[in-house]
Amino acid sequence: MASDPIETRKSTEGMVDYNRNSSAQQQHAIMQADHIRRLVGKLGRVEPELRLVDYGCGPGMSAIETVRPAIETYRAQFADAPIAVCHSDQPGNDWNALFGLVNGPDGYLSDNGPLRVEAAVGSFYDRLVAENSVSLGTCFFASHWLSHAVRLNAPGTVLFNDLHGAARVQLAEMAYRDWVSFLRHRTAELKPGGYLLVSALGSVPDAAEANGAAAAGRGIYRAMQAVAQSMADDGMLDAEVLNGFVFSLWFMTATEASEAISGDPILATACEVEHLAVTPAPENPDDLFKDKVDDPAEYARLYVGYTKAFADSTLRTQLFEPSAQAPDAASELADEFYRRLDALYRAHTTTYACEIWHLTVALRRR
Ligand SMILES: C[S@@+](CC[C@H](N)C(=O)[O-])C[C@H]1O[C@@H](n2cnc3c(N)ncnc32)[C@H](O)[C@@H]1O
């Protein structure tokens, strides 16, 4: 049984067909607009330029909606002040899709003042831009991806929340280290007085759960586990590969997020926590696609599209390819997986509904 080794490969290589299947993330970015406007409003004029960095920007419209309110707010105050917008993600991000949107009719290049656009390519667990250069950093729906893929002793689950014993402790420790490392890098990159706004999926205390907390999206991961197990039972997936596979994700509770900051001497000294909370999504918090529940085919189509967008690269590299017996077999396994997932959602609909809690953290660099 695979256990312990932390792999060198990434937890995700990037998103698939993201723009069409990320309505939740787009709504979330729009929902954060007031928060972003408030933070930019507090910055005043920044010299030599206002630098915005969106970490884990992804390839879709949410990346545009994240920076737009910051540009508009600053430009309304300082018509001639230079702005630099930096989109940051891993090499595997669909950069052509992103810059197509930036340059397109719904992009932000119609801004009338001096504005330049840049990209920082790499992992947000490393330094990505110069120290003391960022006025506002944002990171939405991304920091819950851990720094590396893991293989653990994880039979019966692909979700951190359902792990037990040593496997759970090991992933919890990695999540803690990663969160501290992410924040230390961002804090170093912020200018004094600058802000970091992070929003990721979160967890809430729930005595009915084996580990005492309910994780956002638990229904989707339990649906994926059920489908993967059925394929292993039918001899299509390697049972040992499945038993060692877990998504390298951790959705923190408010206590986990906050104790990591207050318990780290560097972070506790370098920044103030302006806001930290886990809250239900403002729309459809109990079921992302609640509005379609009376149409099981459409409900299933939406859930499969949403799942594929964030999970496909992880499933391919960590489950299908290691199980594949022949060069084309991984794609066939993927097709079969999504066919079964679709059938599961049609048959059981709300049993595997995706609940959403957001962890939102705003920090100010002292
Ligand atoms: C679900 S998408 C979110 C995109 C966008 N921020 C949004 O709100 O829609 C997660 C993004 O995080 C990126 N990501 C995951 N791990 C990362 C890492 N270690 N460094 C940089 N980006 C990472 C992925 O490549 C992906 O583009």
The length of the chain is 366
Residue 216 maps to which CATH number?
3.40.50.150
Instruction: Report if residue 5 sits inside a domain.
Output: no
With beta carbons less than 8 A apart as the criterion, state whether 354 and 288 touch: yes
With beta carbons less than 8 A apart as the criterion, state whether 276 and 258 touch: yes
Residue whose CA is at the smallest distance from ligand 1 atom 23: 56
Ligand 1 atom closest to the CA of 58, numbered from 1? 27
Residue 8: pLDDT band (50, 70, 90) is low
Question: Does the pLDDT value for residue 5 go beyond 60?
Answer: no
Question: Does the pLDDT value for residue 154 go beyond 90?
Answer: yes
In this prediction, residue 23 carries a pLDDT of: 79
Q: How far is the CA of 142 from the centre of ligand 1 (A)?
A: 4
**Averaged confidence pLDDT in the chain:** 95
| Model confidence, pTM | 0.95
- Residue of 145, 179, 183, 220 to mutate, ligand 1, most atoms within 8 A of C-beta: 145
Instruction: Report if residue 3 sits inside a domain.
Output: no
Pair of tokens at residue 237? 């997936």
Instruction: Report if residue 29 sits inside a domain.
Output: yes
Question: DSSP secondary structure string, 62-89?
Answer: HHHHHHHHHHHHHHHH-TT--EEEEEEE
Instruction: Report if residue 130 sits inside a domain.
Output: yes
In this prediction, residue 15 carries a pLDDT of: 81
- Among 304, 279, 291, CA closest to 216: 279
Instruction: Report if residue 2 sits inside a domain.
Output: no
- Residue of 10, 54, 90 to mutate, ligand 1, most atoms within 8 A of C-beta: 90
State the residue for tokens 């794609």.
Answer: 331
Q: How far is the CA of 141 from the centre of ligand 1 (A)?
A: 7
Instruction: Report if residue 10 sits inside a domain.
Output: no
pLDDT tens-place string over residues 171-214: 999 999 999 999 999 999 999 999 999 999 999 999 999 999 99
pLDDT tens-place string over residues 211-269: 999 999 999 999 999 999 999 999 999 999 999 999 999 999 999 999 999 999 999 99
- Ligand 1 binding pocket (C-beta < 6 A) is 12, 14-15, 22, 25, 29, 56-58, 60, 62-63, 89-90, 93, 123-125, 140-142, 145, 147, 310
Cα–Cα distance between 350 and 343 in angstroms, integer?
Answer: 13
- Residue of 57, 67, 129 to mutate, ligand 1, most atoms within 8 A of C-beta: 57
Q: How far is the CA of 10 from the centre of ligand 1 (A)?
A: 11
Residue whose CA is at the smallest distance from ligand 1 atom 4: 58
Cα–Cα distance between 307 and 146 in angstroms, integer?
Answer: 18
With beta carbons less than 8 A apart as the criterion, state whether 97 and 73 touch: no
What is the SS3 assignment for 277?
strand
Cα–Cα distance between 99 and 120 in angstroms, integer?
Answer: 13
Cα–Cα distance between 242 and 149 in angstroms, integer?
Answer: 14
- Among 108, 174, 183, 116, CA closest to 143: 183
With beta carbons less than 8 A apart as the criterion, state whether 85 and 115 touch: yes
Question: What letter represents residue 271's amino acid?
Answer: C
Instruction: Report if residue 8 sits inside a domain.
Output: no
Ligand 1 atom closest to the CA of 54, numbered from 1? 6
Cα–Cα distance between 122 and 109 in angstroms, integer?
Answer: 24
In this prediction, residue 209 carries a pLDDT of: 96
Ligand 1 atom closest to the CA of 310, numbered from 1? 1
What is the extent of the structural domain holding 353? Answer: 19-365
**Residues in CB range of 185: below 8 A, 6 or more apart:** 124, 125, 126, 127, 128
Instruction: Report if residue 214 sits inside a domain.
Output: yes
In this prediction, residue 28 carries a pLDDT of: 87
Residue whose CA is at the smallest distance from ligand 1 atom 14: 56
Q: In a 10 Å sphere around its CB, with 0-12 CB exposed, 13-18 middle and 19+ buried, how is residue 37 labelled? A: middle
Q: At what angle do helices 61-77 and 95-103 cross, to 10 degrees?
A: 40
In this prediction, residue 180 carries a pLDDT of: 98
In this prediction, residue 166 carries a pLDDT of: 96
pLDDT tens-place string over residues 42-92: 999 999 999 999 999 999 999 999 999 999 999 999 999 999 999 999 999
pLDDT tens-place string over residues 79-131: 999 999 999 999 999 999 999 999 999 999 987 899 999 999 999 999 999 99
Question: Does the pLDDT value for residue 6 go beyond 80?
Answer: no
Residue 25: pLDDT band (50, 70, 90) is confident
Strands 271-280 and 357-365: antiparallel
In this prediction, residue 7 carries a pLDDT of: 59
Pair of tokens at residue 266? 């560097």
Ligand 1 atom closest to the CA of 125, numbered from 1? 19
What domain count does the chain have? 1
